[in-house]
Amino acid sequence: MSRPAAITFKGNPMTLVGEAVEVGQAAPEFKLHAFGPEGLTAITPADLKGKPTIISVVPSLDTGVCQIQTKTFNQKLGELGDKINALTVSLDLPFAQNRFCGAENITNIKQYSDYQERSFGNNWGMLIDELKLLARGTFVLDSEGKVVYAEVCPEVTQEPNYDAALAALNSLL
């Protein structure tokens, strides 16, 4: 399934692959990867249960708006510590994600890559067919893995609604 003209990129209509994630549904499956001291590790929705979760989705950490989004969430999530799971998801390689986060002191939100299987992009309806990148958006899950907030930015170059996402997350604490 695909959704033609679901979003725009610099004003040009783009197709999103997969169905849109809706508030109230269980988090769709995914397998994301990170690179840390123990090497390459994987995470699935089951690993997130037990705490509220915020998922910030960006096309690439090598672009300005994606960097702003990641830095903004990193700063705003600082005081929540280990009460939540906080993820940034992109198709950047885990090594590139680590390089950016190390250089920018990103410590409050963990970076995960969908590069291997694109299961997040396909299952969450966030893969831009024409660009083979993820669309920009934010999701909040409750501690049981149910979606309580979902935003897909209508224009890829625009920042998400930080306040709405954080309000949804804080309502779970």
- Of 66, 84, 86, 89, which is the active-site residue? 66
84 neighbors 5 (Cβ within 8 angstroms): no
> 101: which residues sit within 8 A by CB, 6+ positions away?
70, 107, 111
One-letter amino acid of 138: T
In order, the DSSP letters of 24-84 are: TSBPPP--EEEEETTEEEEE-GGGGTTS-EEEEE-S-TTSHHHHHHHHHHHHHTGGGGGGS
Sequence length of the chain is 173
One-letter amino acid of 15: T
66 catalytically annotated: yes
Cα-atom radius of gyration of the chain, to the nearest Å?
A: 15
Catalytic residues: 66
